[in-house]
Structure 1
Amino acid sequence: MSTPFWISAFLDFGADGFEDGVAFWQGVTGFSLAPRRGEDEEFATLVPPTGDDYLRVQRLADGPGRIHLDVHVDDPDAAADAAVGRGAAVLARNHGYVVLRSPGGLVFCFVSHPAGERPPAAAWSGGRSQVDQVCLDIPPRLHDSETEFWVQTTGWDLRPEDSPEFSRIQPPESFPLQLLVQRLDDDAEAVTAHLDLASDDRDAEVARHVALGATEIRRHHWWTVLTDPAGTTYCITRRPAR
């Protein structure tokens, strides 16, 4: 098995929401935007002031927006072959990366891009915050098999959380993104994912996001659900920034 040495998250926006989505997440993170790349300049990287990048953006040609994972490994082709043996499907093979769909339907990539230094949290007037987690939203009928797929793909331990619907696939501390697993109440068609932020002051962080153009959807005890200007759902949590 090719053990991941880094995890990145792609914010995949529909064409109509791409520019607004990119500008919003630049404001949220304080990251700069690297030069656009791809045949149609559909890809770009959000670059932190220090440390290695772990958030990227893509303009989709069609379909709704989504989050997808890039799993960084030494040999993407070998990792993809092993993942196929665990139930994944290869969608495309390219030079340096392979696009796949997990057994539960989540699009992800194996890539070989080097990285290893986790950026620090950003400091604002309301305290520190950071995008530091990807939550895998898994329908009940797919929960056990999809969770086991990601445990085997990463080689990381599965740990229970305080709430029974959540568990955590725990990466090394040096990784920028943790993986949270959520068992959904509704039996959705496929597995999806969303980003979570840690924040020292959730209320102040929510207010900052709303001022940048987000919409607050609902508030729970430990987290608040919002959508960005492109319609991407994400959460701000009460977990302190690392």
Structure 2
Amino acid sequence: MITVRWVWAFLDTVDDDAEASEAFWHRVTRTELSPPRGERGEFATLVPQLGDAWVKVQRVVEGGGVHLDLDVEQPLPEAAAEATRRGASEIVRQEDVIVMTSPGGFTFCLTSWTQAGSPINQVREDQPDLLDQICLDVPSELYDAEVDFWEQLTGWRRRTGALPEFTSLTRPDGIPVRLLFQKLGDRSGTVRGHVDFACHDRAASREAHVAAGATVVSEHDFWTVMHDPVGRIYCLTHRLP
């Protein structure tokens, strides 16, 4: 088990679409976009008015999607060794980040909580909605192993969802991003991910997101599936921020 002190949700977007994506996401999260950083100016942070940030954007050459950064208390080589022992694969190792994939192929990074500035405070009060969840979309034959991996790696207790195809991990107090797992109808493939918002009033949030440039894909009893302006899937869910 590793000690996760903070979780970052990363929105990865190909270069040609990045400007439109960043404009949308900083608007719907009611944040300011930090100055770019990195060798290509590929990284930026969505900075909230109050509290510490937990969402970042990254411009990529190809692919795109969502990934997680886990700020850990242990030295990064030690944390990576534990993740590998649990079934992860190491992709890239640098001094300040180790890029890995889960047993099902979902990308995550191990980073140092101390080097990240030791964030500790997410403000949830007075928010109409909040990007607070990463949902891993898992092919059915990979589902049990994927949930087992994340539960054992983090030490967070699993909880069965109201619907049988969902499982969540109970995040410790103060962790800004919740992990949810959805069992797909597809039997095989690679684990993907999308972000979810918790909404006080899902209809009002839907209207605000559409006004910002999103489109509604489908409506369900407890969630609304959306596309952002560059085609990224995400959901508005019926949960209190």
Task: Compute the TM-score of the two structures, normalised by the length of structure 2.
Answer: 0.95
CA distance in 2, matches of 1:62, 1:160: 35
How many pairs does the alignment contain? Answer: 236
Give the conservation status (yes or no) of the 8 Å contact 2:18–2:59: yes
The alpha-carbon distance between structure 1 residues 121 and 66, as it changes in their structure 2 partners (threshold 3 A), is farther
CA distance in 1, matches of 2:231, 2:154: 29
Give the conservation status (yes or no) of the 8 Å contact 1:77–1:97: no
Give the conservation status (yes or no) of the 8 Å contact 1:50–1:120: no
Q: Alignment identity in percent?
A: 43
Residue deviations 1:64-90 (CA, integer Å, cap 9, x gap): x21000011022221111111111111
CA distance in 1, matches of 2:15, 2:215: 20
Residue deviations 1:182-223 (CA, integer Å, cap 9, x gap): 111123510011110011111111011011000100000100
User: Partner residue of 2:42?
Assistant: 42
Give the conservation status (yes or no) of the 8 Å contact 1:215–1:228: yes
Pairing partner for 1:115 from 114, 119, 123: 119
Residue deviations 1:159-184 (CA, integer Å, cap 9, x gap): 11111101111111311111111111
Q: In the TM superposition, what is the alpha-carbon distance from 1:120 to its structure 2 partner?
A: 2.4
> Matched residue of 1:18: which SS?
helix
Give the conservation status (yes or no) of the 8 Å contact 1:88–1:103: yes
Q: In the TM superposition, what is the alpha-carbon distance from 1:35 to its structure 2 partner?
A: 1.2
- After superposition, residues 121-140 of structure 1 pair within 5 angstroms as 121=125, 123=127, 128-140=128-140
CA distance in 2, matches of 1:164, 1:78: 35
Runs (4 or more) in structure 1 with deviation over 2 Å come to 119-123
User: Partner residue of 2:156?
Assistant: 156
User: Partner residue of 1:71?
Assistant: 70
Give the conservation status (yes or no) of the 8 Å contact 1:88–1:100: yes
Give the conservation status (yes or no) of the 8 Å contact 2:142–2:188: no
Which stretches in structure 2 are left out of the alignment for 5+ residues? none
Q: In the TM superposition, what is the alpha-carbon distance from 1:52 to its structure 2 partner?
A: 1.0
CA distance in 2, matches of 1:219, 1:66: 22
Q: Which moved further from structure 2: 53-62 or 112-121?
A: 112-121
CA distance in 2, matches of 1:140, 1:27: 35
Give the conservation status (yes or no) of the 8 Å contact 2:168–2:180: yes
RMSD: 1.1
> Matched residue of 2:67: which SS?
strand
The alignment status of 1:20 with 2:20, answered yes or no, reads yes
CA distance in 2, matches of 1:214, 1:150: 31
Give the conservation status (yes or no) of the 8 Å contact 1:4–1:71: yes
Task: Compute the TM-score of the two structures, normalised by the length of structure 1.
Answer: 0.94
> Matched residue of 1:5: which SS?
strand
Q: Which amino acid aligns with 1:68?
A: H
The alpha-carbon distance between structure 1 residues 58 and 122, as it changes in their structure 2 partners (threshold 3 A), is farther
> Matched residue of 2:174: which SS?
coil
> Matched residue of 1:151: which SS?
helix
User: Partner residue of 2:228?
Assistant: 228
User: Partner residue of 1:146?
Assistant: 146
- After superposition, residues 89-238 of structure 1 pair within 5 angstroms as 89-112=89-112, 113=116, 114-121=118-125, 123=127, 128-238=128-238
> Matched residue of 1:149: which SS?
helix
Give the conservation status (yes or no) of the 8 Å contact 2:26–2:46: yes
